[in-house]
Structure 1
Amino acid sequence: MKAASSRAAFELRVERNATSPGNVTRSLTFIAAAVLLASHVTALATPCQFESQGEGRVAAIVDARSVRLDDGREIRLTGIEATAATKQALTSLLVGRDVSLRSTDDTPDRYGRQSALMFISESDTSVQAMLLAQGDALVSAEVSDKDCAEALMAAEAEARRQKKGSWADSSAIKNAESPDDILAGIGRFMVVEGKVLSVRQAGAVTYLNFGRNWTRGFAVTIPRRMIPAFESAGMTLKSLENRRIRVRGWIEGTTGPRIDVLRVGQIELLGANEPGVRP
């Protein structure tokens, strides 16, 4: 439902019910609700309107991040990583539906897949944002457009606040102080929260250490080439010492778990009172 049509429906209802003084308060309430709804939809939709990369009908769900159109094209949904519920959610949302594609580049990857944001019919809200808002996907932080990335993160944050989908499980966010739990998910995409105990430079890599035992504790690694990007975003790596952060990425390591950070969006600074933050 588009923001404009949503607001129009509310205003029509207001007009029909505002014929007596006793309905004035309710009329104002309807108008306020319409404005809030329109603002929420626009916030999710507007920032991610990239160049059109064609249309098609979804013929099949290939996997939790890829679909096949009826013309044979395989589309990879950019901007998200899958959870256990993503594939089923995609099946419910997309099979047999007409979709449009938007991205900054339609060049296929080495597997022949075209990466894009996907929109159902005339919707202004991407499928990615829908999945995130339901708690059925995680933001991958691979979208480089700042406004679009923020909109996707906002959709995920709201689902997390409401404990929707995968966020209903307390283990959806891993505790940086429990490295064995994180290491058990090696090779998976995870979201981890914790306090950075130290920031150390070793050669061309900066380490954010979350444990006293650097060998076995959880750590985030950031290559030197990423430092200018963090500084441009107003975040110096040394300033992260003693700060609580949320980091997302693929778990690597052998004795101790690691996440390699290759995009600024993989790290979020946390406030002390944010829901879900562990003490």
Structure 2
Amino acid sequence: MFLDHSIFSQSPIKHQKWGNFWAGSTLVWRKGALMLIVVVFCGASLPVMAADWRCGTDIIAGDAQTLLSTDRGSVWRDVQLNIEAIDAFTTAKLPDKSFRLADIAFVPEYEDAAMAWLELASANKVSITPLAEQPDFLGRMPVRIQDEGLGDWRAELLAAGLVMLVPESGQDMSELIGIEDSAIKNQSGIWSAPGPETAYYVRAHDAGAENIPTARDAIGRFAVIDGTIRSIEHQEWRSYLNFGSNWREDFTIALDATLRDALANGEDFQDILQDWVGQEIRVRGVIENRGGPYITLENPFWLCLAK
């Protein structure tokens, strides 16, 4: 039975450039907690609002620990930033360090607008909080940046629709998820082009009168996808969340064995996942073509369940 829905399908995978939307993470199961070790790194009425989502550790069975400690050491205060690029900041106060905003990604079509926003914001002195133990592969430390006037820079950029949320730090994302949802609903920025070839928000399948593009329309792109799980199939090394009656054509999310076991947190993963059938799901990631639109879940914070 393990061959019925195999990743070794002969269906073609459509390879395209993802811009700066791809992020990779390594997950390990350690002392009963899911640990995120390394991270390399759309406008229509929505059926479920942000306050109704449970994401990341909130959907892990039992009493799961947080993915990462919220304490990352020093907070640098009263810092004047130089904006070298939209994803690379420096400061004379810390000449040996480079920073980028954690948990967000910039959309190519809106990079100029985001850069203009950052340059204006950099006139204020800020506080910088590291959200990772080590810099990324380009030597940039993922951080949260705040100032008294604007607050969290990520929140402001999300509210304006200038960036997309791509959780990586293991922090509580509930506030930022809510802000992004409002931007989607209000058709702000990147969410203002809901056409099939441009939308970053899509539905798993046809939404009828809502006139929202489907996951099939967004193959080859990083997108936010909503849909209802119709069935779940388990194989030895992965499980498949199916969003239609024909998995060969309909949208599917793949969970590898490590991730599904971590979500079950020591309980029977089949029982835990079976409770998801019929639930509204939100997921984000690169949509591949494996006969039908398909996402391999990279990070538990990229999956949310409706409450």
TM-score past 0.5 threshold: yes
Deviation (angstroms), 1:106: 4.8
Q: Secondary structure at the match of 1:111?
A: coil
Q: Secondary structure at the match of 1:158?
A: helix
Structure 1 CA distance for aligned equivalents of residues 262 and 174 of structure 2: 16
| Counterpart for residue 193 of structure 2 | 169
Deviation (angstroms), 1:174: 1.2
| Counterpart for residue 221 of structure 1 | 254
Structure 1 CA distance for aligned equivalents of residues 215 and 186 of structure 2: 27
Q: Cα RMSD (Å) of the superposition?
A: 3.0
Structure 2 CA distance for aligned equivalents of residues 49 and 158 of structure 1: 29
Counterpart contact for 2:130–2:141, Cα < 8 Å: no
| Counterpart for residue 137 of structure 2 | 110
Aligned residue identity for 2:253: V
In structure 2, stretches of 5+ residues that fail to align are: 1-69, 206-213
| Counterpart for residue 88 of structure 1 | 113
> Identity over aligned residues, as a percent?
24
| 4+ long deviations beyond 4 Å | 48-51
Structure 1 CA distance for aligned equivalents of residues 263 and 149 of structure 2: 34
| Counterpart for residue 257 of structure 1 | 293
Structure 1 or 2, whichever has the larger Rg, is 1
Aligned residue identity for 2:76: G
Structure 2 CA distance for aligned equivalents of residues 138 and 163 of structure 1: 13
The answer as to 2:132 corresponding to 1:132 is: no
Counterpart contact for 1:119–1:126, Cα < 8 Å: yes
Deviation (angstroms), 1:267: 1.9
The CA deviation string for residues 102-136 of structure 1, in whole angstroms up to 9 with x for no partner, is 1243521222111111223x357211111112222
Normalised to the residue count of structure 2, the TM-score between the two structures is 0.60
The CA deviation string for residues 161-192 of structure 1, in whole angstroms up to 9 with x for no partner, is 33322233333311212443121xx1x32101
Deviation (angstroms), 1:246: 1.5
Bigger relative CO (Cα 8 Å, ≥ 6 apart): 2
Change in CA separation of 1:49 and 1:108 when aligned onto 2, cut-off 3 Å: closer
The answer as to 2:181 corresponding to 1:157 is: yes
Structure 2 CA distance for aligned equivalents of residues 110 and 211 of structure 1: 39
| Counterpart for residue 169 of structure 2 | 143
Change in CA separation of 1:264 and 1:236 when aligned onto 2, cut-off 3 Å: farther
Deviation (angstroms), 1:207: 0.8
Deviation (angstroms), 1:210: 1.9
Residues paired across the two proteins, number:
216
Change in CA separation of 1:179 and 1:263 when aligned onto 2, cut-off 3 Å: closer
In structure 1, stretches of 5+ residues that fail to align are: 1-47, 272-279
The CA deviation string for residues 172-230 of structure 1, in whole angstroms up to 9 with x for no partner, is 311212443121xx1x3210112222111122211111233323432111122223543
| Counterpart for residue 3 of structure 2 | none
| Counterpart for residue 246 of structure 1 | 282
Aligned residue identity for 2:156: M
